[in-house]
Amino acid sequence: MVRILPRDVLRGRPTMATTDVDEAHAKIAELFCGHELAPRTRTSSVNMKLRSLHRADVGIEYLDYGADVRIAPEGLQDFHLVQIPLAGHATMQVGQSTVESSPALASVPPIDRPFSMSWDGGSPHLIVYVRRTALERISTQLRGEGDVDLGYGMDLTTAAGRAFLRSVVELHDDMISRPQSAAPVFLQGLLADSMVSRLLMAMEPPASLPRDVDTESRLVRECRELLERHAFEELTVPDIAECLGVSVRTLQTALRAETGATPSDLLRSIRLDRAREILLEASPREQSVTAVAELCGFTHQGRFSALYLKTFGELPSESLRR
């Protein structure tokens, strides 16, 4: 996966910094839309850092609140966002659907439905901005229709997700290397359209894949629930299939079609999420990374740390020390 370091996003651009919640709220409202912003800790302050650069219909932002915050936008309406945590973790809630975003999974807020977000401290974001009219124009060229119904999350580990990230980096590097007035208009449009095209392709689900977890098949929902209940137990794929009353092939086919994952992938993801919850709540004096890994079903410490770093953008020991 393309590795993007927080310090490299819009390097050299002015950084707006503030510890005042009201000032942070006003700046983000001016840049995006009206919203509610509230720290989720006892301290009523943030340590926000913001860099922003727009060119015509697209833009790139670096945003780090520097604190645990809850954000409830009024609605995007005329633009789309792809929000990529460069480290840490964030959650987006849309109705009954939840997206747990990380450096491997971006959140894509809806433009026509209410939603809320919780960003953990230590989760700086790279945000890609695309005007709605531009997305509809590219969608018409690619699909023959401009009506765009995106999902809520983008898997950045897939081939399409990695291609999108590369196109963002290309656009980013061109935007910061020269002012808009010095960039050839043709090249500007080409890079922007390429990025928007990659965004659409990365959000395109396989045939018959529901975009909302509310519409998942009963088998997939029951599989998730089973894995959640027995995440810490020794489970094999045949065990899971037997509990659900289906063949291994039927289970694998359903999960691959609807989630793009295998039963083992889902179990590993659930165990990693549980491990992170425990580490963030534990004290380094009372708990160890090794003990948490074993509790959550990871017997190989090195492999656990590597998976954790890839998923959440930080080592388990860093989460434990928070």
Q: Tens digits of per-residue pLDDT, 92-106?
A: 998 878 899 999 999
Query: Is residue 209 in some structural domain?
Result: no
**Which position has the higher pLDDT, 23 or 217?**
23
Measured CA to CA, the distance from residue 21 to residue 38 in angstroms comes to 8
Residue 205 banded pLDDT, cuts 50, 70, 90: low
pLDDT, residue 220, reads 85
Query: Is residue 118 in some structural domain?
Result: yes
pLDDT, residue 183, reads 56
Say whether both 48 and 186 belong to one domain: yes
Measured CA to CA, the distance from residue 19 to residue 296 in angstroms comes to 37
3 state DSSP class of 124: coil
Domain range for 238 = 216-320
- The mean of the pLDDT values for the chain is 86
Inform me whether the pLDDT recorded for 177 exceeds 70.
yes
pLDDT, residue 210, reads 38
List of long-range contacts for 30-33, beta carbons under 8 Å, 24+ apart: 31/61, 32/73, 32/76, 32/79, 32/81, 33/73, 33/74, 33/75, 33/76, 33/77
Say whether both 236 and 280 belong to one domain: yes
Say whether both 39 and 185 belong to one domain: yes
pLDDT, residue 214, reads 45
Say whether both 93 and 169 belong to one domain: yes
Query: Is residue 18 in some structural domain?
Result: yes
Say whether both 78 and 41 belong to one domain: yes
Say whether both 83 and 192 belong to one domain: yes
**Which position has the higher pLDDT, 168 or 187?**
168
Q: Tell how strand 16-18 and strand 90-94 pair up.
A: unpaired
pTM of the model: 0.64
Query: Is residue 2 in some structural domain?
Result: no
Query: Is residue 208 in some structural domain?
Result: no
DSSP label at residue 254: H
Mean pLDDT of all residues in 157-165: 89
Query: Is residue 211 in some structural domain?
Result: no
Say whether both 246 and 176 belong to one domain: no
Domain boundary among 153, 178, 203: 203
Number of CB atoms found within 10 A of residue 198's CB? 22
Query: Is residue 125 in some structural domain?
Result: yes
Inform me whether the pLDDT recorded for 165 exceeds 50.
yes
pLDDT, residue 84, reads 97
Indicate which CATH number applies to the domain containing 225. 1.10.10.60
Indicate which CATH number applies to the domain containing 12. 2.60.120.10
Say whether both 162 and 266 belong to one domain: no
Query: Is residue 105 in some structural domain?
Result: yes
Say whether both 144 and 259 belong to one domain: no
Domain boundary among 177, 203, 229: 203
Say whether both 68 and 173 belong to one domain: yes
3 state DSSP class of 23: helix
Would the CA dihedral through 132, 137, 138, 144 be positive or negative?
Answer: positive
Domain boundary among 176, 203, 230: 203
Say whether both 189 and 250 belong to one domain: no
Mean pLDDT of all residues in 125-143: 92
pLDDT, residue 206, reads 41
Residue 79 banded pLDDT, cuts 50, 70, 90: very high
Q: What is the pLDDT of residues 43-64, one digit of tens each?
A: 778 999 999 999 989 999 999 9
Say whether both 229 and 304 belong to one domain: yes
As for how many domains the chain has, the answer is: 2
List CB contacts of 197: < 8 A, sequence separation 6 or more.
138, 142, 167
